[in-house]
Homo-oligomer: A and B are copies of this chain.
Amino acid sequence: MTKKATPKRSRAKQRRLSPDDRRKEFVAKATEFFSEEGFGGGTRDLARRLGVTQPLLYRYFPSKDDLIKEVYRKVYLEPFDIGWDRLLADRSRSFRDRLQEFYEAYTKVIFTRKWLRIYLYSGLKGLDINRWYLSVVRDKVLVRIIKECRHEAGLPVQSKPTASELEMAWLFHSGIFYYGVRKYIYEAPVLVDKEQMISNALDAFLASFERLFGAASVTPRRPPVKAVG
């Protein structure tokens, strides 16, 4: 009774798409789907959302895992299509402006529910691509930033960043990153607008960097003075 109430499923006339378009559509919608449901989401639910039947997925991807890998590739490569290391290194503009613009542009790409969720899900799976991404952020972004910081402070630029310098850069980078997580993953109310947040963070970072690493050429492993002053 309930099952066969609609015996002739008013099947929407099946539309044929070129393999290339289908593939792209599948990857795009799969990204949305897995970002919401996690990679444990079923292929049938995914197909329903795509408006096609489940076996069709297997014409385009040998297995669910292969589809997921495509999703990774798209999500992880997207942010680095743009030449961000060049933007950061362009000394015709003030460093402060470059930093502000970089983080506004970077967060414009990654501060979406979709991107952040895929990123966190894949991070929990412990995939190599995740470690690769972190190393790219370190080498293309943070190291570059530190170089520019040193340049601003009149310090030698050639030598590799110290561990403390890099960790300081990570501190602020992560702080900015987590603003997006709070807003789009936890959906917690965020307190100031994004540009303001970035601006404040950069003020804090630049001041702190100069304060901690600017004066002495040797950075003490632990600052002897603990009081704020």
Contact = CB atoms under 8 A, between A and B. Distances in A.
B210 A203 contact: no
Copies of this chain present in the complex amount to 2
Interface string A153-196: 00000000001101110111011111101100111101110011
Nearest to A130: B186
Chain A's interface size range is 35 or more
A75 B96 CA distance: 41
A114 to B, nearest CB: 13
Contact of A131 (B100, B123, B186, B203): B186
A38 interface: yes
B171 A172 contact: yes
A20 interface: no
A127 to B, nearest CB: 10
Given A168-B200, A200-B212, A208-B204, A134 B188 contact: yes
A167 to B, nearest CB: 4
Contacts of A170: 175, 178-179, 182, 191
A174 B168 contact: no
A190 B138 CA distance: 12
Contacts of A38: 38, 40, 124
B211 A228 contact: no
12 contacts: A94-B226, A96-B227, A120-B123, A124-B185, A131-B187, A167-B179, A167-B190, A167-B191, A167-B200, A170-B178, A174-B178, A203-B223
Given A123-B186, A199-B223, A203-B228, 12 more contacts: A38-B40, A94-B227, A96-B226, A126-B186, A167-B191, A171-B172, A171-B200, A171-B201, A177-B178, A192-B221, A203-B211, A204-B211
Interface of A: 38, 40, 94-97, 100, 117, 120-121, 123-124, 126, 130-131, 134, 152, 163-164, 166-168, 170-172, 174-179, 181-182, 185-188, 190-192, 195-197, 199-201, 203-208, 210-212, 221-223, 226-228
